[in-house]
Amino acid sequence: MAFTTILSAQTLAEHLDDPNWLVIDARFTLDDEQWGRNEYERAHIPGAIYADLGTDLSGPVIPGKTGRRPLPDIATFARTLSDWGVGAGTQVVVYDASGGLMAASRVWWMLRWAGHDAVAVLDGGWTSWTKEGRPVSSDAVQRQPAEFPLTERPQLFASLEDVDRVRLDPEWAVFDSRSKEGFHGGGVYHDPVRGHIPGARLANRADTLDASGHFRSPEELRAHYLGLLGDVPPSQTIFYCGSGVTAAQNLVALAHAGLGDAKHYIGSWSEWILDPARPVEL
């Protein structure tokens, strides 16, 4: 049985020696982009490889054209997955230090965008793994390359033009995944313009987690999203955030709730604001 949304630490512990499983460490912080790699080298889940948000999971930033974390070319990403040893039968488990918010859920979404369903986010992430006293390692990890069967799913992706076209359409829903404070232009910003896309509603990605940093139950998440979506189907729903990373938490949680797939606007706020003619709201 493939795991396709969330995976418990206990289940991962039972499969640490399974050669058909791959663990990916995606720890990252915007304040120090070397922090995640440094932490990985200090200690990681045994057998895990490191995925760097700035290099492995993002393409080149084009000033004035892309947001802060554009997608890599999908063929390039497929080669990266092959180098990591991801084949058709590989179960991937990805974790970070923030319950999936930075940037494990981005890895989950990117693998699904590339056509790989057997990928799950570790519930509670690195924090829960270590609090439970589970094994860690500092050993270097070398995986055997595999042939990754790329099957792009463009229906999971929303462009800037898509967002602009539907943001005021009542048959669609566009959600900002940042906090209420950030939605209204407050708090810490990594972009020069504050506010949100007019027509967008708020779906704070942190609301997917409980007080312990674990995902809320599928039943709770289902009620949460049905309350947000109303009559709009997930297939006509778009999530964005500041730079296309943390919005993926909503996409994992939506799938975990059994509601299927929404779309991810990767360019997000950092792309939207590049043209001063585009409207903004606070």
Q: Please say if the pLDDT value at position 142 is more than 90.
A: no
The CATH code of the domain that includes 221 is 3.40.250.10
Q: Angle at which helices 74-84 and 104-113 pack, to 10 degrees?
A: 110
Q: Mean pLDDT in the chain?
A: 96
Q: CA-to-CA distance for 8 and 121, rounded, in angstroms?
A: 9
User: Residues 223-241: what's their mean pLDDT?
Assistant: 97
- pLDDT value at 31 more than 90: no
Neighbours of 270 (CB within 10 A): 23
Q: pLDDT tens for residues 170-215?
A: 999 999 999 999 999 988 888 899 999 999 999 999 999 999 999 9
Both 224 and 114 in one domain: the answer is no
* Residue 144, in any domain of the structure: no
Query: In 3D, which of 256, 252, 247 has the Cα closest to residue 158?
Result: 247
| pLDDT of the residue at 156 | 97
188 and 266 co-located in one domain: yes
> What confidence score (pLDDT) does residue 113 get?
97
Question: Which of 20-24, 28-32, 137-141 has the largest mean confidence?
Answer: 20-24
Q: Can you give the chain as a three-state secondary structure string?
A: CCCCCEECHHHHHHCCCCCCEEEEECCCCCCCCCHHHHHHHHCECCCCEECCCCCCCCCCCCCCCCCCCCCCCHHHHHHHHHHHCCCCCCEEEEECCCCCCCCHHHHHHHHHHCCCCCEEEECCHHHHHHHCCCCCECCCCCCCCCCCCCCCCHHHECCHHHHHHHCCCCCCEEEECCCHHHHCCCCCCCCCCCCECCCCEECCHHHHECCCCCECCHHHHHHHHHHHHCCCCHHHEEEECCCCCCCHHHHHHHHHCCCCCCEECCCHHHHHCCCCCCCCEC
| 215 part of a folded domain | yes
pLDDT at 81: 98
> For residue 115, is it left (φ>0), alpha (ψ between -120 and 50) or beta?
left
Question: Which of 125, 46, 115, 122 shows the shortest CA–CA distance to 86?
Answer: 115
| Band of pLDDT at residue 2, cut at 50, 70 and 90 | very high
Residues 69, 112: one domain? yes
Q: If you search the block for the tokens 């991962």, which residue do you land on?
A: 12
145 occurs within a structural domain: no
Q: What whole-number percentage of the chain has pLDDT above 90? A: 93
Residue 137 domain-assigned?
Answer: no
| Domain presence at residue 142 | no
Q: What percentage of the chain has pLDDT greater than the value 70?
A: 100
Same domain, 15 and 91: yes
21 and 75 share a domain?
yes
pLDDT above 90 (res 11): yes
- 22 and 121 together in one domain: yes
* Domain-located, residue 10: yes
Residue that has been written with the tokens 């290099």 in this structure: 55
For residue 100, pLDDT over 90 is answered with no
Residue 140 lies in a domain: no
Q: Is residue 93 part of a domain?
A: yes
Q: What is the pLDDT of residue 188?
A: 86
Which residues are known catalytic residues? 241
Report pLDDT for 91. Answer: 98
pTM: 0.95
Shared domain check, 126 and 194: no
Which range of residues forms the domain containing residue 72?
6-131
Mean pLDDT of 211-236: 96
What does the angle CA 185 – CA 272 – CA 282 come to, to the nearest 5 degrees? 25
Q: How many domains does the chain have?
A: 2
Q: Of the residues 97, 131, 165, which one is the last residue of a structural domain? A: 131
pLDDT at 216 over 90: yes
